[in-house]
Chain A
Amino acid sequence: MRPGLVSRLAAVVGKDHVFSGEADTAVYAYDASLATSRPEAVVFPGDTAEVARVVRLATRLGVPILPRGFGTNLSGGTIPAHSGLIICLSRLNRILEIQPELGVAVVQPGVTNLELQDALSPHGFFYAPDPASQKVATLGGNVGENSGGPRCVKYGVTQNHVLGLEVVLPGGDVLRLGGSALDPPGYDLRGLLIGSEGTLGIVTEVTVRILPCPESVITLLAVYDRIPDAAGTVSEIMSRGIQPSALEMMDNPVMRAVEAGMPCGYPLDADAVLIIEVDGPVEGLDELAGRIRAICSRMGAREVRLASDAGERDRLWAGRRGALGAVARLAPNYLVADCTVPRSALPEALDRVAAIAAAHHLEHGNVFHAGDGNLHPLLFFDSRDVEQVRNVKSAGREIMEACVRLGGTISGEHGVGLEKIEAMRLVFSEESLDFQRRIKQAVDPENLLNPGKIFPKRKPSSKGVAPPAASRPFPQDLCPESAEEAVGMVREARACGQPLVPLGHGSPPDLPESGTVPIRSTRLDRVLEFSAANQTVRVQSGMRLARLQDFLADHGLWLPIRPLNGRSSTLGGLAAVNGCGPERPAYGAMQDRVLGLCFVCGRGSEIRAGGRVIKNVAGYDLCRLMVRSRGQLGFLTEVTLHLASRPQAGIGVTAQGPLPNVLRAAAAIRCSSRAPVSMTASPDAGGLFWTLHMVFEGLEKPIRAQASRCAADLASRGLEVASCPLEGPFHRFGRPEAGSLPPFRMRIDLPLNRLPPFLEQGIEPFAFRVQLLDLSCGRLAAWTPSLDPGRWVRIQEAARDLDGHAVLEEAPSGFRARNPPGLRGPAGIEALVDRLESRLDPAGIFAHSGNPFMEGRGGVRTHDQPGARP
């Protein structure tokens, strides 16, 4: 115990909120994993300011710290690796805001997932991530681990639903990252923090996206006599374009344990069950359930039950959610693995698990998120038996190895923590690990925040990147044919101190005058790997979106990204700017679709991020960091994407009226369960009347019902309504072109409730033309034939004053060179970005202000780098 630590902590939070006794700290020596390690003390700050003061104090004293919620972590993430101070956030337990009309809630990190769900349900809303432990898992912990849950097979994981964070950084600075206005300028630091397992910052407030509850839910229980049949069903359902809202599997040992705890209705004589749920509008849902039943039966289910009422459904879920606790009836302890494999590999993965368990004389069970291939094999043992402990550890490692060999990863949602540190080498090269370690070093130079987690100790590198002494002139244009060639080029650039700018097919006009050299992806345009069954594709970064869509069309698939402008963009380019269209709430943006990527960083190493599975929390979320990084952190060479089945049908609905009426109608639709995939508005030539466009896509029956109800809603508001069928997924419905070759194109992102005031305050002084108003994302796309710097600053300030931002997407030659790319951001963010860039790209090969795509980084550069303009 460090002298004075406790009394100084007490001076910050009060003596009732510091624990240091033997028993008091002993109960913080564990979480829900197997690891144990006792902290020196535990402190319970009451607000963000106290968290920051505690962190500053700990930094001064050199005490390691780590954040903890309710300690239900399954990988040892919330116990100290060695010793130190636990910052328990259980007192930050208030729900601060629920704003259904904005689709947003703001919570403190100590609120449990279920408490939020309970608070939302009277409003008819829900928060999509729903980890099985939601009763006790806090939202701070959900953010730290990037938690999933049964529903994420349809709705996505925490990463897809957190809009903004308030974070206390190592050292004690408090930053706000992201927010309800989408895609703020600069790196997606919010995305980097999510899933960082409490090693990059302590989350003190979370802004989440909330969704209207689906109109109707059907829950099926498919009963199997053979596990492989159940496993085979999963891939069969998913690859047929059916989107269940949950697809879980449970085997016999787990069902027995659950039923012994409380009767939930599971058949004890079956080998396995699938719990399958579909949700959506009433129309067509029965039919959908019928299709699933048919598939189950065809795949060998001996019986498919329908949960007849909410009670039966709740019981099934209570059993599923309590499964991990229940298995204590079978043995005092369990090791739960958390590997993810491509869905099509499920049967084989389950086979391997069984074989590995048997080889180690261990009983095992399975309960897991089958729909996204996230296995949770449970190995039963008694921690009082030393040999069993040894066996269980080696079996756990072998399971991870097997799953990685099947194309999977080591953790889908539980995190690496202490338990999977060594397994990180199974999925990452030393260089890729180094890239992540450098992020940690940049954010936490003293290594005091949750040290000793996630990353294995560095192996001394055998092949250091020794820059060759270069004297010959550097080429003026680079166009690698392979990733290896790109690596060589970047190393050469590094040796010459030559800043590079990644490019696709475009040709930004500013490059020659900035002294930078383009590195083009145009020759990297192949499909590397494609799996229709898993709906994933790995392509090189230079492939154009349109070509990929053509390729996928043959398989009934598509990448559900319809950028407003430019179907000719490359996938690398789309990733670099987080391309998306107004369908983002339904299909996501590039950041939600990129499963993995590969890039050459400014140090000349090839770095791999993510993988090809739907859920992946191994290491930092580099995909999020790279998507939207606008070529500032490296040259993308390949991207792995999560595809979707092409919608069966599409209907467009239009409604015309004055702007205020259109805005009110849109707000009402947003809060309803009508669920159009996009909702946009554009002005007519005179600017007096606006047209609201809504797109409904999916299965024919439900969308027809949705569209006609929506049309009725709109008509009842006095708008003039029309609807039309849409041809295929690449229609241009509701997408007016910007003026021909507009020199200046910008987007303005605002919280949804700020859009009306922004428009009403009068946008005439800004003299831009609205191309499209995205009423589900809070985004305004505009263009203008001319723009002077003063006006551009005023536009940005107007957006900033309403908690949003304006970003210049296209500008003619020279404009950027003469003008800073954006308003200055908060000093803390700028400093953090500087530290990150100088660690990841010390020579400024990619991170330099000569990059014409830079949109501001929440600020501008403050130090000189090669390529920086005077």
Chain B
Amino acid sequence: MSRDLTRLYDLVAQCNRCGFCQTACPVFRATGHEIGVARGRLSLVRALIEQRLDWSEELNEPLFACLLCNACTAHCFPGVPTSDILVAARAAYLENVGRSRLAGLLLHHLLPYPDRMRKTVRAVALGQKGSRSSAVRALGLLRVFGRDFPRSAEIPGQLPDHSLREERSSWTLPGDGDGPPIGYFAGCGMDLLFPNTARTSLQGLTRQAGSVTVLNNVCCGLPAHAYGDPETARRLARKNLDVLESAGAELVVTDCSSCASFLKQYPGLFSPEEPEHSRAVAAASRVRDLVELLPAESGGADAGPVVVTYHQPCHASRGQNLPIPEELLETHAGYTYREMHESDWCCGGAGSYALFHYDLSMKVLERKMENIRKTGAGLVLTSCPACVMQLRHGARLYRVPVRVGHVAECLPVGS
């Protein structure tokens, strides 16, 4: 059924096949295959709309193997929003060809329930593959295990013993800063995989605000959105809108750039007639990426001497137009900052990407790791937990002697 896609026809027709997307597409640069680049994917969508092509499973790869990194659009003079078009095409694919059972499990039974998520992660951590293995695999869609889930035995070792919100779902920390109260949006990745980093973020935020409240939020909805399940994304967004509104915080801060970027996109999930739309507009205006709250000059503890470089997540650069916090990195005690070539080139993490497209993801990652290697950096910082996972995996796989950390490490901590 291509009726659903026809509303995209004008957008798709804007692609006049100049091919400039090829220069920017991490997948194309890794494979050289036209089917892996915006021009190719758009031509298929156009063929579907014009009914020159029938829906089939063959379309799974071209529609789902896009990182949604948006680099093509940034290099596209007509500015064709390929990611948006593909997300819509994925939804149409699921309707016309069918969805995977695993995805359904994840999207409908895990993402909306942080508690179930925690339990499933625990099951993975303990290496249990019994009755819940399908849920465990489904959780892979979130990438919370890292991309090598099906292959690597190292994973359980990477999982922390306790998630950030293990004991309680929400609490408030007193702060000694002058700023307005902050609500901390706990992204799934930070909550489940990097609770210590999350605590560092929280500690840093208490120096800026009168109080910091850890919110009882659910998944931001990005995985569902990217998978082509707008309904689930909207459902999650509604839940989160309730949480954001009731928190009473003037600013909502998250230390996951992917969450931040998607929360800012909430208004787009609802049509202007829907009551949620204006609520989403109001909520989105209060959302900040932690990167936006980083001080210009670092007061953090001396962590050097080390050469440090910065990986700019897609959702920070193209998703939110945030610059690299260069000044901070340059002034941080002990750091020598070196800019990475193609710093905003996707690392290949991209949500569930690595799970379904492991080999491709690793090829994309290889280029990133080479660029990191060339800086000679001993530390690479970034602002998205998915990128941290991916880069850590890359450092092992491609033997790059670099530690991967979250930029929250630079925050000045309480005296």
Contacts and interface: CB of A to CB of B under 8 A. Distances in A.
Same complex: yes
Interface of A: 19, 21-24, 26-32, 44, 70-72, 88, 90-91, 93, 110, 112, 114, 133, 135-136, 257-258, 261-262, 322-329, 332-334, 382-384
Given A90-B32, A91-B32, A334 B16 contact: yes
B17 A31 contact: yes
Contacts of A31: 17, 19
A332 to B, nearest CB: 4
Interface stretch (B39-47, B142-150, B203-211, B369-377): B39-47
Q: Name the 7 nearest CB pairs between A and B, nearest first.
A: A90-B32, A328-B78, A326-B77, A325-B77, A27-B40, A332-B13, A261-B77
6 contacts: A22-B56, A133-B20, A135-B22, A261-B77, A325-B20, A333-B16
A603 to B, nearest CB: 42
Given A26-B53, A326-B77, A332-B14, A136 B22 contact: yes
A26 B19 contact: no
Nearest to B42: A27
Given A22-B53, A328-B78, A70 B22 contact: yes
A70 B32 CA distance: 8
B14 A329 contact: yes
B18 interface: yes
B18 A324 contact: yes
Contacts of B16: 32, 324-325, 327-328, 332-334
Nearest to B11: A332
Interface string B15-44: 111111011000000001111000110011
A266 B10 CA distance: 27
A407 B76 CA distance: 36
B19 A136 contact: yes
Contacts of B75: 135
Contacts of A44: 32-33
Contacts of B15: 328
Contact of A325 (B13, B62, B78): B78
A135 B17 contact: no
B53 A72 contact: no
Contacts of A21: 58
B79 interface: yes
A32 B14 CA distance: 13
B18 A133 contact: yes
A328 B20 CA distance: 13
B65 to A, nearest CB: 12
B308 interface: no
A6 to B, nearest CB: 15
Contacts of B365: none
B59 interface: yes
Given A27-B34, A88-B32, A261-B77, A328 B14 contact: yes
B49 to A, nearest CB: 10
A27 B35 contact: yes
B19 A23 contact: no
Contacts of B14: 328-329, 332
Contacts of B10: 332
B34 A71 contact: yes
Contact of A22 (B22, B58, B61): B58
Contacts of B18: 32, 72, 133, 136, 324-325, 328
A631 B58 CA distance: 58
Contact of A28 (B23, B32, B34, B61): B34
Nearest to A74: B18
Contacts of B44: 23, 26-27
Contacts of A324: 16, 18
Interface residues of B, number: 32
A325 B43 CA distance: 16
Contacts of A72: 18-19
A778 to B, nearest CB: 35
Contacts of B78: 261, 325-326, 328-329
Given A30-B43, A261-B78, A332-B13, A23 B35 contact: yes
B64 to A, nearest CB: 12
Contact of B77 (A24, A112, A257, A333): A257
Given A23-B35, A27-B44, A136 B23 contact: yes
B20 A27 contact: no
A28 B47 CA distance: 13
Contact of A135 (B20, B32, B61, B62): B20
Nearest to B52: A26
Nearest to B78: A328
B137 to A, nearest CB: 25
A71 B22 CA distance: 10
A479 B19 CA distance: 55
A262 B77 contact: yes
A91 B363 CA distance: 14
A383 B50 CA distance: 12
A326 to B, nearest CB: 4
B19 A71 contact: yes
Given A26-B44, A325-B77, A328-B78, A70 B35 contact: no
Nearest to A324: B18
A110 B34 contact: no
Given A23-B59, A24-B35, A328-B80, 10 more contacts: A23-B58, A27-B40, A28-B34, A32-B16, A32-B18, A325-B18, A327-B16, A328-B15, A329-B77, A333-B16
A328 B10 CA distance: 11
B69 to A, nearest CB: 17
Nearest to A114: B23
Nearest to A24: B35
Contacts of A135: 20, 22-23, 75
A70 B25 CA distance: 13
Output the residue of A27, A322, A334 with the most chain B CB within 10 A. Answer: A27
Contacts of B76: 261, 325
Contacts of A114: 23
A328 B23 CA distance: 18
Contacts of A258: 77
Contacts of A327: 16
Contact of A23 (B53, B77, B79): B53
Contacts of A19: 33, 35
A329 B15 CA distance: 9
B20 A23 contact: no
A328 B39 CA distance: 13
Nearest to A134: B23
Contacts of B20: 133, 135-136, 322, 325
A37 to B, nearest CB: 13
A261 B79 contact: yes
B35 A328 contact: no
A125 to B, nearest CB: 20
A26 B79 contact: no
Contacts of B22: 70, 135-136
A44 to B, nearest CB: 7
A329 B18 CA distance: 13
Given A23-B53, A27-B35, A44-B32, A112 B13 contact: no
Contacts of A322: 20, 77
B79 A30 contact: no
Contacts of B43: 26-27, 29-30
Contact of B17 (A32, A90, A91): A32
A110 B32 contact: yes
Output the residue of B10, B22, B59, B62 with the most chain A CB within 10 A. Answer: B22
Contacts of A110: 32
A257 B78 CA distance: 8
Contacts of B79: 261, 329
Contacts of A133: 18-20
B67 to A, nearest CB: 17
Nearest to A326: B77
B406 to A, nearest CB: 32
A31 B43 CA distance: 11
Output the residue of B17, B23, B53 with the most chain A CB within 10 A. Answer: B17
A384 B13 CA distance: 9
A303 B282 CA distance: 47
